[in-house]
Chain A
């Protein structure tokens, strides 16, 4: 089946620093990638949608200058959390979709802790 690799699986950083999370589709071309955030006991919250070679589309309330998304190729998207603060501590999950009627394939997620 389709595999999405997400790294790192966990990261601890200091407040004010930036963190980059990578999401790769290993065996298929992902026309669209999605970034989610999930706080404990809450639903997945879609942050942004990105298509290869174009700017990401951010959901309402998500700061695009804080959460930088780059989708440089059909197999790689990155999310950079800039100037991280403790309230950014969360579980970040990427997913990728092929074309048409394809389901989403999720990475294993990145648990971010900002101290």
Chain B
């Protein structure tokens, strides 16, 4: 079983819509979770960290964590074309990345 499972997409949403990115993980002991965004041709950047069950909001981004279900999600409200990128979910001290979810926001 892979450590992290994400729908590789592409996920296409119209501009202004909510984009929902989902991630399941296998390590029940994971205590921290991170979302990274990678634009094409660039290196990844950290956009959200979440450590506790529930929601964490930062601007248009909301991370949701459910440790019992081993599930973490990222919601992007009012999606913009500039949000088009690949999003990588990484639980805990996970340094091996999968393909992530490619998001395309259509103008």
Contact = CB atoms under 8 A, between A and B. Distances in A.
Interface of A: 1, 34, 43-44, 46, 49, 91, 93, 95, 97, 101, 103-109
Interface residues of B, number: 23
Nearest to B93: A97
List 10 tightest A-B contacts by C-beta distance, closest first. A101-B32, A109-B43, A103-B34, A106-B43, A44-B97, A93-B43, A43-B99, A103-B46, A106-B44, A46-B96
B98 interface: yes
B45 A106 contact: yes
Contacts, number: 48
A43 B95 contact: no
Contacts of A101: 31-32, 51, 92
B61 to A, nearest CB: 15
Nearest to A43: B99
Nearest to A42: B99
B95 A34 contact: yes
